[in-house]
Amino acid sequence: MLKPKRKITRKEIEKDPFLEGIYSLRQHFENKKQQYLKIGGAVITVILITFFVNRNSVTNQNEADHGVGIGMVYLNKGDYQNAIMQFQQIVDEYSNTDAGYNATFYIGKIYFDRGNYDLALPHFERFISGSNNDFILSSVYELLSAIYESKDKFDEAISYQQKSINKSISKLGNAFSKLRLAKLYILNKNKELAVKYMDEVLDAHEDNFEIKKEYDFLYGLMGGVLS
């Protein structure tokens, strides 16, 4: 016949280190139960807030990208007024996002292509202040260089052209950027640096017809400006 299970007394627990540890742990959780529940609730709250913030961020980015797409439709149709209005709305509502910076670039490019350099300038400057898109950055630095060249501010033009070279993501693009830099050095009466960049490019691309054509043009320009 089975005997009823005997209850373990407190004294017996104290004699057994393992049982005593279990008992102490249980007592600890009983005493701290409310505190642990509060901590657990706080952790869950943080996780939920992070989830909803991230989801909202993704939603905002998708909406911003869609808005830029609408602006591009206007731009491709040649409807520059509505394109600028659409891009400006994206800049106002999503200013510090990738879409916001891309929108300000497109506004600047519209003004630049239409010869409104003074209107283009602040948009390009805003773009380079916050965007990390190297593909567009190289182009924007070159556009800024062209704006300052048009103002005969060759030191500023050279500085931006050097930055364009540093951000260039293709060998051929880098080569043409260096030839443009050589042109700026010619206009700034610095023959030594102009020849340095011209020869460097030609040595690396001696079989490229367009490179050789631009090289010959710059030598002709140098003869006219520095003679």
Residues 220, 170 share a domain: yes
Residues 227, 159 share a domain: yes
Residues 210, 146 share a domain: yes
Examine the fold and report which residue of 87, 119, 151 is the final residue of a domain before the chain moves on: 119
pTM score, two decimals? Answer: 0.72
Answer yes or no: is pLDDT of 15 > 80. Answer: no
- pLDDT per residue as tens digits for the range 100-119: 999 999 999 999 999 999 99
Q: At 86, which CATH number? A: 1.25.40
Answer yes or no: is pLDDT of 85 > 90. Answer: yes
Residues 149, 106 share a domain: no
What sign does the dihedral 42-47-48-49 (CA atoms) show?
A: positive
Residues 147, 99 share a domain: no
Nearest to 181 by CA among 161, 164, 200, 166: 161
Examine the fold and report which residue of 91, 119, 147 is the final residue of a domain before the chain moves on: 119
What burial letters (b/e) apply to 167-186, b meaning 16+ CB within 10 Å? Answer: bbeeeebbbbbbbbbbbbbb
SS3 track for the chain: CCCCCCCCCHHHHHHCHHHHHHHHHHHHHHHCHHHHHHHHHHHHHHHHHHHHHHHHHHHHHHHHHHHHHHHHHHHHCCCHHHHHHHHHHHHHHCCCCHHHHHHHHHHHHHHHHCCCHHHHHHHHHHHHHHCCCHHHHHHHHHHHHHHHHHCCCHHHHHHHHHHHHHHCCCHHHHHHHHHHHHHHHHHCCCHHHHHHHHHHHHHHCCCCHHHHHHHHHHHHHHHHHHC
Average pLDDT for 196-215: 94
Nearest to 74 by CA among 64, 85, 66, 63: 85
The half-sphere exposure of 71 on its side-chain side, counting CA atoms within 13 A, is 26
Lowest-confidence pick of 32-36, 153-157, 208-212: 32-36
Residues 153, 80 share a domain: no
- pLDDT per residue as tens digits for the range 129-160: 999 888 899 999 999 999 999 999 999 999 99
Nearest to 163 by CA among 186, 147, 143: 143
Structure-block tokens of residue 147: 């704006």
Residues 158, 70 share a domain: no
Q: At 161, which CATH number? A: 1.25.40.10
Average pLDDT for 29-41: 59
Distance CA 175, CA 39 (A): 60
Say what percent of the chain tops pLDDT 90.
59
pLDDT band at 39 (very low <50, low <70, confident <90, very high): low
Q: Provide the pLDDT for residue 135.
A: 84
Q: Provide the pLDDT for residue 199.
A: 95
Q: Provide the pLDDT for residue 11.
A: 52
Average pLDDT for 19-39: 58
In a domain, 173, yes or no: yes
User: Mean pLDDT across the chain, nearest whole number?
Assistant: 82
Structure-block tokens of residue 158: 């050279």
- pLDDT per residue as tens digits for the range 168-195: 988 999 999 999 999 999 999 999 999 9
Answer yes or no: is pLDDT of 213 > 70. Answer: yes
Residues 203, 148 share a domain: yes
Lowest-confidence pick of 126-130, 131-135, 204-208: 131-135
Q: Which amino acid is at 20?
A: E
Answer yes or no: is pLDDT of 6 > 60. Answer: no
Structural domains in the chain (count) = 2
Residues 144, 222 share a domain: yes
Nearest to 142 by CA among 183, 95, 189: 183
Residues 177, 97 share a domain: no
Q: What is the domain extent for residue 104?
A: 61-119
Q: Answer whether 141's CB lies under 8 Å from 127's CB.
A: no
- pLDDT per residue as tens digits for the range 40-79: 555 555 444 444 444 444 556 778 888 889 999 989 999 9
